[in-house]
Structure 1
Amino acid sequence: MSDPTRTSQSTRHATGPAGAAARTPATAVAPTPRRPLAAAFRLLLSAAALAGLVLAALSTPSPAHLLASFTAQTALALALVSSCSAHRAWTGRHPVSPRITGALLSYVSLAALLHQVLPHLLPAAAPSAFTLPATAPTATGTGAPARALLLAVVPLAALADWLLLTAPRGFRLRHVWQWPAYPLLYLCFALTLPAATGAPSPHLATALTAGLTACLLPLITVAIDQVRPSPRLHNNRISPTGISPLK
């Protein structure tokens, strides 16, 4: 059986424009279909993240401390990347690198998990800028909607985007040690400069739990991505991948 990724002897030694076209992989010239549904969903995801940040800013007395919180930083990055990804899906361009989208997925999931699970594991642990967004000290006014958007709606929407609108097996094993770099650096920042985050320094048990979760989440995400089924993505290809310039 022939390998479609390899070229024949005649194609390999061909010269001129015809030879260059024959040696070009089909995936490099095949048009990427437009995906308006994915574009609309990612635009809504970006809007939800920005709305959560605006509501959080209205409920906190110190916007500087809001920008220093882990949840606010990841939500802002997710909003920007989701907007770019929506534009690429609408115009039929290649998607954003899985290294970036996977990292943001693990970051927003990390913030949500620590916020939901940590109080049950460590009831005596004090809130910190790493585990909580530090945007709504009370659950009144705009604080409760901000928490709901940033710690529930946005992570679930990012998870749905990954599972339902993204092709599987895009994450690589090297991402397992690349993605935890930012959460671990932020954890060191929160431990050494708690005044800059506007929250007390995390206790040892809280820091260990956050660090361990930050390291395990990428591993679990990459493992699930390798075995999950492919979603039914719209495809406009009319012929299989090949090396011929007529494909």
Structure 2
Amino acid sequence: MSDPTRTSQSTRHATGPAGAAARTPAAAVAPTSRHPLAAAFRTLITVAALTGLLLAALGTAGPAQLLTRFTVQANIAAALVSACSAHRAWTGRRPVSPRLSGALLPFLSLPALLHYVLPAADSTAFTLPAATAPGITQALSHQLLYTLTPLATLADWLLLTTPRGFRLSYAWQWPAYPLLYLAFTVAFPATTGAPSPTVTTALTLGLALCALPLITIGIDQVRPAPRLHNNRISPTGIGPLK
């Protein structure tokens, strides 16, 4: 199979503008495809996550201890990955690896499910600590970290990315860190400042950590492709110009 980045023997010794054009790889002159709307949306995800983290820090007596909570760690990762994705979409570079962007979905979904569906597990280290003075600050931080950021990340995945980008190997790679974190909270509960989860709660968390990646990968295999607008004058495959 020929390598498109290499030049043939006849064009290697060509001179002048024609020779320079013949020796230039096609990838070097391909137009970049910028997505400003996707960049703006992912910037908003970054702002929402950082704002929620700031409000959570203002509403607790020990802001440094927040770094030990899984919700905070997941939203920090969401802010970093979304900022990088926004930059790549704005500049037309290749998107962030699905291994990283897809991991945000189960990471952000688990604390939200614990907060809204399993109130008994809401006091674990996977969620935020109770505020010293519950009020508007705590309510806003909860809405941003448990609702807006996870839903916005879900919408970004469903509406702004192509399907079938997740591999089956992600099903065991994504839960690796949350499962280690769960084991750490069971063995050293004082480190996170949260009570050790009960056996039932720990088993429920473990099952959820293993099920969420499988559900995400399964949905990614069957969901329809969004209609993404790009700046190419022709499709990526070989064919006539559009």
Same topology, TM > 0.5: yes
Q: Post-superposition shift, 1:239?
A: 2.7
Say whether residues 1:157 and 2:152 are aligned partners. Answer: yes
Distance 2:8 2:238 in 1: 15
Alignment CA distance shift 1:242-1:153 (3 Å): closer
Q: Post-superposition shift, 1:57?
A: 0.2
Distance 1:174 1:241 in 2: 27
Amino acid at match of 1:15: S
Alignment CA distance shift 1:26-1:14 (3 Å): closer
Structure 2 partner of 1:15 = 8
Q: Report the 3-state secondary structure (helix = DSSP H, G, I; strand = E; otherwise coil) of the residue aligned with 1:188.
A: helix
Aligned length: 231
CA contact (8 A) 1:45 1:158 kept: yes
Structure 2 partner of 1:48 = 48
Residue 214 (structure 1) aligned to one of 209, 215, 218: 209
Distance 1:47 1:126 in 2: 25
Name the TM-score, length of structure 1 as normaliser: 0.84
Amino acid at match of 2:142: R
Alignment CA distance shift 1:68-1:32 (3 Å): same
Residue 189 (structure 2) aligned to one of 186, 191, 194: 194
Say whether residues 1:171 and 2:158 are aligned partners. Answer: no
CA contact (8 A) 2:163 2:224 kept: yes
Bigger RCO of structures 1 and 2 (CA < 8 A, at least 6 apart): 1
Structure 1 partner of 2:99 = 99
CA contact (8 A) 2:59 2:137 kept: yes
Structure 1 partner of 2:125 = 129
Structure 2 partner of 1:69 = 69
Distance 1:137 1:25 in 2: 61
CA contact (8 A) 2:35 2:230 kept: no
After superposition, give the CA deviation of every residue in 1:85-129 in whole Å (9 maximum; x if it has no partner). Answer: 10100011110000000001210011111221112xxx4x57111
Q: Post-superposition shift, 1:28?
A: 8.7
Structure 2 partner of 1:235 = 230
Structure 2 partner of 1:148 = 143
Distance 1:17 1:225 in 2: 46
Amino acid at match of 1:106: P
Distance 1:110 1:128 in 2: 12
Amino acid at match of 1:98: P
Structure 1 partner of 2:82 = 82
Q: Report the 3-state secondary structure (helix = DSSP H, G, I; strand = E; otherwise coil) of the residue aligned with 2:95.
A: coil
Amino acid at match of 2:123: P
Alignment CA distance shift 1:25-1:103 (3 Å): farther
Amino acid at match of 1:71: T
Q: Post-superposition shift, 1:234?
A: 1.1
CA RMSD of aligned residues (A): 2.9
Distance 1:202 1:193 in 2: 11
CA contact (8 A) 1:75 1:150 kept: yes
Distance 2:228 2:157 in 1: 12
Amino acid at match of 2:86: A
Structure 1 partner of 2:221 = 226
CA contact (8 A) 1:7 1:243 kept: no
Name the TM-score, length of structure 2 as normaliser: 0.85
CA contact (8 A) 1:184 1:211 kept: yes
CA contact (8 A) 1:136 1:146 kept: no
Q: Post-superposition shift, 1:196?
A: 1.1
Amino acid at match of 2:95: P
Alignment CA distance shift 1:229-1:145 (3 Å): same
